[in-house]
Amino acid sequence: MDDKKRNEAYNKYVKAKLPKTRPWPSLFNSFLVGGIICCLGQGINDLILLWFPNMAEQTAWAYTLIVLIFIASFLTGIGVYDKIGKFAGGGSIVPITGFSNSITSPAIEFKHEGIIYGICVKMFTIAGPVIVVGIVSSILVGIVYLFI
Amino acid sequence: MYYLWVFLIGGFICMLGQVLIIYTNITSARILVTFVLIGVLLEAFGIFDPISSFARAGINVPIIGFGASLAKGAIGAVRAKGLLGAFTGGLEATAGGIAAAVIFAFIFALIFKSKTKN
């Protein structure tokens, strides 16, 4: 009985202390930053097609994503992407730049544990599940398409 | 003018991620997994390309596009090579992005020090 009361009080305390994200501003910020990152991607894609007019659309997109991944990885390295993330929330996680950030960030964070067990192992702490789920589901889709 | 669509749709998708964060306290790994799955499903049901034709970067830059190319690669390779394609197609289509993310992360991790610890 006493334990229950204490737990309730504790939960209340935690809830009061947790940083509150006010819904509306954070929704607006994520919309804004997400939209800007996508426009940046479109701009890069347009520039690539302008310089190499004969390039296939699929190839141009692949280069676009690589450029975005490079930018995000670099910004993570110099500590800027975290600041964008604090402001944008989902706006910085959902684009492919967030995927890049999720690989670079732990790689830098755990550098002190060594190249193999620090950088190489930790870079997949977030990206690992993403790649696993992606591979598994795409194989399933492929097998389904085999029969239709 | 299509930049308006790119901005609106890209922004909307990212805002959906923020909605998930606010109402479920979901972690970023779960968000990325969720959106990759959405992308795979959109492509599997043939809904991705019609949206992509006017949303362009608005749906290709969010990780949904990554999921869609996984599925698109697998479907295309199944048609070309049969069962083996289901195993090779997805990674083939997304290898550029994954390899880029790994090599840049590796290089920048060697160069830069952690900023959050200070």
Q: Give me the pLDDT at residue A1, please.
A: 56
Q: Give me the pLDDT at residue A10, please.
A: 84
Contact B106 A120 (CB under 8 A): yes
Q: Which residues of A fall within a CB distance of 8 Å from B90?
A: 134-135, 138-139, 142
Report residue A135 as tokens: 């591979």
Average confidence (pLDDT) over B99-118: 88
Containing B80, the helix (H) or strand (E) segment is: helix B63-81
Residues 6+ apart with CB under 8 A from B98: A131, B91
- Report the C-alpha dihedral over residues B57, A139, A73, B58, rounded to 10 degrees: 10
Identify the closest residue of chain A to B29 by CA–CA distance.
A126
**Contact status, residue A148 vs residue B46, Cβ threshold 8 Å:** no
In DSSP terms, A95 is beta-bridged to B62
B102 pLDDT higher than 90: yes
Could you tell me if B47 lies within 8 Å of chain A, comparing CB atoms? Answer: no
Digit-coded pLDDT (tens) for A14-28: 777 776 656 788 999
What φ, ψ does residue A31 adopt, rounded to 5°? -60, -50
Q: Give me the pLDDT at residue A19, please.
A: 66
B22 pLDDT higher than 50: yes
Contact B20 A21 (CB under 8 A): no
Average confidence (pLDDT) over B82-89: 96
Q: Give me the pLDDT at residue A6, please.
A: 83
Digit-coded pLDDT (tens) for B28-81: 999 999 999 999 999 999 999 999 999 999 999 999 999 999 999 999 999 999
Whole-complex ipTM? 0.94
Q: Give me the pLDDT at residue B116, please.
A: 58
What residue segments make up the domains of chain A, in order of their start?
29-146
Interface A:B, Cβ pairs < 8 A? 281
Separation of alpha carbons A107 and B118, rounded Å = 17
Digit-coded pLDDT (tens) for A73-123: 999 999 999 999 999 999 999 999 999 999 999 999 999 999 999 999 999
Residue B56's nearest CA partner among A60, A70, A54, A89 is A60
Identify the closest residue of chain A to B88 by CA–CA distance.
A139
In chain B, the N- to C-terminal Cα span, in Å, equals: 44
- % residues pLDDT > 70 (chain A): 96
Q: Give me the pLDDT at residue B118, please.
A: 47
**Contact status, residue B4 vs residue B57, Cβ threshold 8 Å:** no
Identify the closest residue of chain B to A111 by CA–CA distance.
B109
Confidence of residue A125 (pLDDT cuts 50, 70, 90): very high
Residues 6+ apart with CB under 8 A from B78: A142, A143, A145, A146, B85, B86, B89
Q: Which residues of B fall within a CB distance of 8 Å from A46?
A: none
Q: Which one of B11, B83, B94 has the shortest CB-CB distance to A34?
A: B11
- Nearest CA to CA, how far is A69 from chain B (Å)? 6
**Contact status, residue B71 vs residue B40, Cβ threshold 8 Å:** yes
Confidence of residue A148 (pLDDT cuts 50, 70, 90): confident
Residues 6+ apart with CB under 8 A from A78: B112
How much is the mean pLDDT over chain B?
94
Alpha helices for A18-118 (secondary structure H) = 23-51, 57-77, 80-88, 90-93, 96-109
Contact A91 B7 (CB under 8 A): no
Q: Give me the pLDDT at residue B25, please.
A: 82
Contact A96 B65 (CB under 8 A): yes
In chain A, the N- to C-terminal Cα span, in Å, equals: 60
